[in-house]
Structure 1
């Protein structure tokens, strides 16, 4: 029996977190973690830096970075002036790095999870929704999914954050990022969940930088001393980079 949560019968779907990514399967999956994993990935892609997603920053991450001769991001608060972290500001200013292992318990974890499903995985933030939608639409056309034949199924997964007890905290900035991408697709075969994400995005599209700073995630980063990270995340459509996951790395697709 088909799961009622799978959003079957719709060409475009939307859900939350690792469980949603497992239940609502897609041929092309956009992972959205605006504050800050996918924003950091788009900044890295702009600079020609390949990102290797990893869940934890521990001894295994050190070995993983050594395996690929990549730099390992340090904790955001622990980063010195010349070190790189999950902070997009640190990635924008770093020099001499072409490969980066970027641990993140949300967006990075979901990206790695999806890498084993055979889906095409892309990183989407508020910085690249139009570029990502254009890239996906072109891929659909190239696959023959036009007026005839089945189209690849597209799914956006909002990573969300975590409460202290480990449960999912739906993060509105990820809802907006997913909705912006889904809106830019211009499709009419969206699931009700995807339509709700689009509606959420369109409700704030004219004032996104302000709303991003004022939402819980933006206030949290600002309180911790990283208002510039929020400002970079609010560069709506400021990037044409579409990071694609292949062989464990997110790189800028051409």
Structure 2
């Protein structure tokens, strides 16, 4: 079957959920599928609760411009220098860079080491970003991550508006997007997911919950036309909405972070609707829609 075969076009439309104005998929390949055919008036929302979009929302709240960038790309340092920006590091890199307290450190000791290292340099850690670690004098930040940031960088070339959402700012993002959606714009929500050690996609339930929180807020504002995939995220969110912090602590992603000393990141990410930030990607950088120049996504 060639790409020009009508059956191939039908398959692309089906997997892209083209019959629905509000769509949801997971990972970079899913992101490419659901934004296919969308235009400049349409929007893609990236959800990476643990941790890119949570850290992103906290950064733009502080007035920091955030440049997404592919993970472990050797060009990142040069990219940051060209933009007079600071290159953030991963939370595990920060912990590894700190002086070793003991050879087989327990998780709280690892987290303490990471906190000491991040005082001089920003990291992907939401808890560190909330504290403002390493942000003195920082106006522009290159923030790589293996999932949310990488997907955001890919979507920047897709010709649609790109917004970052998490549990902390889901209602704020819904409030910003609802007017455009009610006027007929389409929305592609991307639950970023995680990676297995072999590099393959591991769907992450926390990102489905984050997407469901956003979609629930949009439905409450009159938005309709959700695909079955998007509807499933709404149902998933309703199952944990009464105690999202407990759910986040219990899921695989939350347990993984807690096990290696970053339980504070899970707690920060679990706070719901505490932020008014709406990170919008323009000219290669996320800025808060309330402070960035030009019209917002609505």
Residue 179 of structure 1: aligned partner: 212
> With structure 1 as the length reference, what TM-score do the two structures score?
0.93
Which SS does the other structure have where 1:24 is aligned? helix
Alignment gaps of 5+ in structure 1: 146-150
Give, in whole Å, the separation in 1 of the partners of 2:120 and 2:153: 27
Contact 1:33 1:124 in 2 (8 A): yes
The equivalent of 1:88 in structure 2 is 126
Instruction: Write out aligned runs for 1:186-197 (5 A).
Output: 186=219, 187-197=223-233
**Kept in 2: contact 1:57–1:74 (CA 8 A):** no
CA RMSD of aligned residues (A): 1.2
Larger Rg: 2
Q: Is the 8 A contact 2:90 2:145 kept in 1?
A: no
Following superposition, the deviation at residue 58 of structure 1 comes to 4.8
**Is the 1:110–1:159 Cα contact (8 Å) retained in structure 2?**
yes
Displacement after TM superposition at 1:96 (Å): 1.8
1:162 aligns with 2:195: yes
Offset at residue 188 of structure 1 (A): 2.5
Structure 2: runs of 5+ lacking an equivalent:
1-8, 95-116, 291-298
Aligned length: 246
Please, which of 21, 36, 42 is the counterpart of residue 57 of structure 2? 42
Relative to the length of structure 2, the TM-score reads 0.80
Q: Is residue 21 of structure 1 aligned with residue 13 of structure 2?
A: no
Cα distance in 1, alignment partners of residues 74 and 229 from structure 2: 39
- Contact 2:88–2:124, Cα closer than 8 Å, also in 1: yes
Correspondence for 1:148: none
